[in-house]
Amino acid sequence: MKKQIILLAAVALLFTTCTKEVYNSEICFQETILPIFVSNCSQSECHDSHERAAGYDLSNYEGIMRGVKAKHPLLSEVYKTIRGNSPSMPRKPYASLSARQITDIKVWIEMGAPNTSHCQSCDTTLITYTARIRPIIDNWCIGCHTATNAGGGYDLTTYAGLVSSVTNARLMGTLRNQSGYSAMPKNTSALTDCDINAIQKWINTGYLQN
Ligand code: HEC
């Protein structure tokens, strides 16, 4: 009997340990979840503050929460429409979300859908294209900047496309919301200073494809 209890306790411990790993503090609303919605759902004529298709403005926390039942992804409209083999959102011709993005949204809802920000400390040392710059662009920008949907003429899915926004001297002005530039990412708040500074540093050091 004692052995069984110990075994049960061990299994329970294992289970909570695994669960903890899923409840990942790196999933932060501002840095992980919001960009998925902004980049994939708030394109013009979809779920932005002007169009609000089906009543949803998915460009900010309050708007996203209208489609979320905290802790219950399967009762959450925004999760139900993006999951499965042929999800109804994002509508064609926009690409479906990646498996990673869908899981992040599910885990975030299971965590209680908190409005968290600045969950990671700012790394100012490892500023390479692959490790630091590409993830920012993939996260925040490419839903509106692909070859077939190139906002402002910029396909940001490629290194060459991103570099053209640098050499045309358009990138930093848009990120810093300077006058004469269209503020990017469109329809939402600016990137964190940590991300903006990382991109500036990458440009200053020759915007290498490293
Ligand atoms: C919700 C859609 C959307 C998102 C997200 C978005 N863009 Fe844009 N972007 C556009 C559109 C549309 C344009 C064309 C100009 C306009 O309508 O404002 C544009 C224009 C631009 C321009 C040219 C603007 C100028 O003033 O010369 C740059 C550079 C740019 N985007 C970079 C980015 C970067 C970098 C990100 C991510 C941090 C981003 N965009 C995220 C839709 C978006």
Q: What is the pLDDT along the chain (210 residues), one digit of tens a residue?
A: 566 666 555 555 555 444 444 456 679 999 899 999 998 888 767 777 777 877 888 989 999 999 999 999 999 999 999 998 888 888 787 778 889 899 999 999 999 999 998 888 898 998 999 999 999 999 899 988 999 889 999 999 999 999 999 999 999 999 999 999 999 999 888 999 999 999 999 999 999 999
Cα–Cα nearest to 49, from 143, 187, 209:
187
Ligand 1: which atom is nearest the Cα of residue 152? 14
181 Cα to the center of ligand 1, angstroms:
9
170 Cα to the center of ligand 1, angstroms:
10
C-beta of residue 47 within 8 angstroms of C-beta of residue 57: yes
Q: Which of 31, 46, 58, 141 to mutate to test the pocket of ligand 1 (most atoms within 8 A of CB)?
A: 141
Q: Which of 144, 165, 187, 188 to mutate to test the pocket of ligand 1 (most atoms within 8 A of CB)?
A: 144
Q: What pLDDT, on the 0 to 100 scale, is given for residue 121? A: 87
21 Cα to the center of ligand 1, angstroms:
35
Q: What pLDDT, on the 0 to 100 scale, is given for residue 86? A: 83
5 to each of 1, 11, 68, 192, how far by Cα in Å? Answer: 6, 10, 39, 49
Q: What pLDDT, on the 0 to 100 scale, is given for residue 18? A: 42
Whether the pTM exceeds 0.85: the reply is no
Return the residue matching tokens 């100012």: 124
Q: What pLDDT, on the 0 to 100 scale, is given for residue 21? A: 41
Q: Which two tokens stand for residue 81?
A: 């429409």
C-beta of residue 202 within 8 angstroms of C-beta of residue 172: no
Neighbours of 102 (CB within 10 A): 18
Neighbours of 16 (CB within 10 A): 10
For residues 171 and 183, give the distance between their C-alpha atoms in angstroms, rounded to a whole number. Answer: 10
Within 6 A (CB) of ligand 1 lie 38-39, 42-43, 140-141, 143-145, 151-152, 154, 165, 170-171, 174, 181-182, 184-187, 191
Measure the CA angle with vertex 190, ends 38 and 72; round to 5°.
Answer: 40
